[in-house]
A and B are shown apart, each in its own frame.
Chain A
Amino acid sequence: MTEISRREFIQWGGAGMAAAALSDWVFFKKTLWASPEEQEKLFYHACHICDCNCGMTYQLKNGRIVEMRGNPADTLGAAGKLCVKGYSTPRLYHDPCRLSHPLQRTNPRKGRDQDPAWKIISWDEAFSAIGEQFRRVYDHYGPEAILIFARPKPWDSHLWNAIGTPNQLCHVDTCYINHELVGKTVAGGRIWGWDFSHAKYIIGFGYDQPGKSKNIHQREFMAARRNGAKIVIFDPRLSETAMKADLWIPIRTGTDLAALLAMIHVIIAENLYDKEFVEKYTSGFDKLKTHVAKYTPQWAQKICDVPAQTLVEIARGFGSTRPATLAYHKRDAGGPTYMNSFQTAQAMLVLQALVGSLDRPGGLYYSRTPEMPAVKEVYNLNYPDIADKPRFDDPENITPLVFKTKKAGFSTAADAILKDSKPHVALFHSYNTTSFSNPRHLEEALTKLDFMVNVDMYLTELGMYADIILPENLWIENSGFTARSYQAERPQVMLDEGAPKLHNTKGYGEIANGILAAMKLYDFVVDPKKLAPAQMAAMGLDKDKLRQSGGVFDSGEPFKPKEKFKTPSHQIELYSTVLEKAGHAPMPEWVEPVAKPTPEYPYYIITHHLPWMRMLKNANDPILKDLQCENKAHIHTSVAKKLGVKDKDLVWVKSPVGKIKLMVAVTEGIRPDTIMTEHGFGIWAKGRCQGIGWGQNEGEILPDRTLAEMKSWKRHAAGRGVGICDTTVRITKA
């Protein structure tokens, strides 16, 4: 056959085709009159950069966000002000590095040094490819071979429930699971409100939410400060919160539990507890009294390096001042920071109950989120029963409670994938490898999977292991409502009016249902647009009503302290029957942290989030990045002297997991046996153009856990927390 030349192709075959293809207007339409200048219009939304969900208002002009403020009608949250992260939303919205189209890998080899060679595909093509792979696995290996890494949000839950996989893995065991699980098992609910402004005495253990620029915490905490509350912060480093305290106690890293047990001991031994509250609302006091008799301040002093007399004085002050409260939340000493952190969280709640300030003014309180129907009720769905299906990462049911609350699984994900033949495909929604400690272990596990989907707003490190990437709307492009969970002393609902979508993205409801349709699970495919109106209607609301009330529905219900608690005894169980039944310690017990300094690794390591960063969500913000563009190794003056380094010198920080190179910051505000570095750096997937190459991901030196380890900690690690900082490091001049 004769091959034609380009010239012939153009002349004979292509000319007509070219004329047809090139002559039409693709992007324009004629108008008879000029469009009038668009006026600015006010819209409402809740901020979703963090879970404070502060109400915000924004102005749109010509499809662009031109102004953003805190919504003054959101009296429980923003109260008219946003934090620095909230104000960065317009820059996120207009960020040129956001994902704009579904992408498909064309290079089958996966790894840090492999270019996936993405190509743009349509949503139909993306769903079709995912549906084919997921359905194949569903039919051949069963739904449990499909892993879903996602938060338990409505459409995420819909996806895994409809598929029928028990293997949903969530970040909470690197975040708030301990506090959540302790709240639910010991006291029957989620304790996610802080009335610091009415407290007279506040103690925190590694608590630094104000230092992380959490709007609600900052406002409450500073109100307490102004109102003259006594504030004591236990922390190995002088955190931003500790700087505002009356007393900073540089406790030995990982031993907060000992100090707490000693305080419980003193408060009970000296009859300082709130007798009326304890008698009326708690159970198990006598057992607790006997149990803590051994935890004397002198015993604790040896462990936590805080003088016994100091512990006694603080316990006396705390026990004899009303109202007194602990300040705790997420990744503090009761978070998943150490392998004894579940016990720490439990001890915190017990102490809170002993001083009678659980769900009482001046204390901590339960979220009063409004009642509304779930996806299942709105669409009348009958999901497969997965309650008793074994999880691939907990075949012996070591931590049953954690999987019945908010799920978990990050701590052992890599080990479980590598050791188990069941998982074949996975979907990750808004998680990154940097969300995991020891990310290289996870990356090794991901290469074992047949197929992986990543739903995100950016091309992330995790995306480099994906086969398909689906671009999700930025939250401000979604419409609906947000029910306040932080600081919800009464039910409150905020209107979400989505800004115009700038890219070829979709909301997660569309994505989840698109996948289900592609998997031919038609019984569960629903129209996601109907959910928000149905839920609002069930609350007697609609978007017009919310708009008329300034974007916020505030029930105005007066605070009614709880008289009964959702536990088997309807009381706060100082001796938890739920934990005991599940094979965990019913009362907080001292347990040694895993890591102790050795000659090879002589320092503890702790981490912190900078106030202008929410994990990596803001990492691509050029203005915020300039505030501190890389993380540092914060070391004590004496350590710097010993190493012969000064500010801005480079050091290697090495742990049994890995090593990272950091710039030194010398300070008196840290224990000499501890090094601190900040989270949210070390981007290597260059899809984020701004944050690339700055700093190091501290996760590279932090441990993840094995299934065998988790089994050995069954009694004490009911929350399956990863023990992020339960390792030690060495530091050498680079």
Chain B
Amino acid sequence: MIEGPLKGLLPAASIRRKLVVGVAFVHLLLMTFFVFDLVHRQRDFLWDELTQRTLHHAEVLAISASSWVLSDDLAGMEEVVEGSSRGSDVRYALLTDPGGRILAHTDRDKIGLYLTDKISLDAISGARQARVYHQDVNSVHAIAPIIVADHLIGWSMLSVDKVATTAHLAYVTRTGILYTLAAIAIGTLFAVLLARSILGQLRYLLAGVDNLQNNILDIPVPVVSNDEVGRVAKAFNRAVASLAESRAQLTSEIAERRRVESSLRALSQRQVSLIEDERKRIARDLHDELGQALSGMQFCLKSLQAQEGMSQHDDTCTKLTGQVERMGVAIHRIANDLRPATLDHLGLIPAIKAFVADQQPFVGDSVQINFDAAGFKRRLPPEVEMIAYRIVQEGLSNAIKHAHARQVDILLTVNHPALIVTIRDDGIGFDAAEQTRNGSSAFAGIGLLGMQERAGTIGGKVEIKARKEHGTVLRAELPYAEEHANGDAHTDC
């Protein structure tokens, strides 16, 4: 509730200032109301008390004087009047007969005179009851009838000074203001001390938060109080300690995971390498062993066909020669699939060009395959080239077999320290999000996992962006180390 007004009074003020001003303001407000109310109540009470006292005084005077008035005993009346004015703030007291003739007066010179002013005459001609017949800021005037046996035999009139009451009210007001100031001073002092007590701990907490922001978790916040803020500081320390422990554990787990990942990557890399080596060996063996054997067979068949007397076996030899040639071609193709020799000898770009060229006869004119490369200045590390080749091989196969693409664009870009492989097709695409939600094996089907696994062996990654009926974009980022890139330079890369 106080926040609102304080916000207006103290925009962007500190807690200390808000607290001090708030307490002072509350004290001022409450004490002002209190003193204001007190003074008013006191004034009403004193005025009422003075009025009642004056009235009572007049009544007592009337009763006391009745016997003297009945007896027309002026001396007795004078004694009564003097007695009524003794030791009080009575300005004057007088007794009159019903016609306003002064029978007794505190000023003896007035005895025997008549009241002549309208206020007094109205008073003695008014109701036969005690009443305050006039009141001004400095005096109260009361009148009481002197009645015996239901007969009005005179009036007592009395005036009392208000000066003492007014002075008392001024004193009460001054005292009230002093109390207000004292309350504000004490409240403010208390607020300052309270703010110091609370904010001291808060300052430590703020320093702790700064440390936390700076990842300094080994310096606890000093706990200097046992109040709620102190408990917050203790809780903060516990939280920071817990955080430090969790972070240490997490760091350890991350290190372990990295180590494991590194091992897995190494293992995977080694596996891929072994596979590639094995494929390379098989391809070489196919080429060297079976290729030599088939060449020998083909030579023998041609020699046998050229011998005389073997004309009856000419057709047979021709057929065998043809079969051997086809076997040679098949072996060459299988060997090339297992490990394109072009990749090892000429580099990535010629290998991919050759692969694209090899695919063209199978797809005919229905699919247009475009290949482009940029940024190649030297050959990339063999494992990078091999992985890039396999990704292109898999990606192009997917575009042709699954995406039913009519155009496939292959782009290789060297953007040190990574090789970016992009394969974009205009095929049927797919909803990648839906595939992911449904746990579909489409990714597996397109060999994404294999590609990612291969890329992962060198710290790379493969992403696929696809939309249904809007084609597919495969993007692989394959990092490579500079020292590897400084390897064999090859003009054809």
Do A and B share a complex?
A: no
Which B residues are within 8 Å of any A CB, using their own CB?
Answer: none
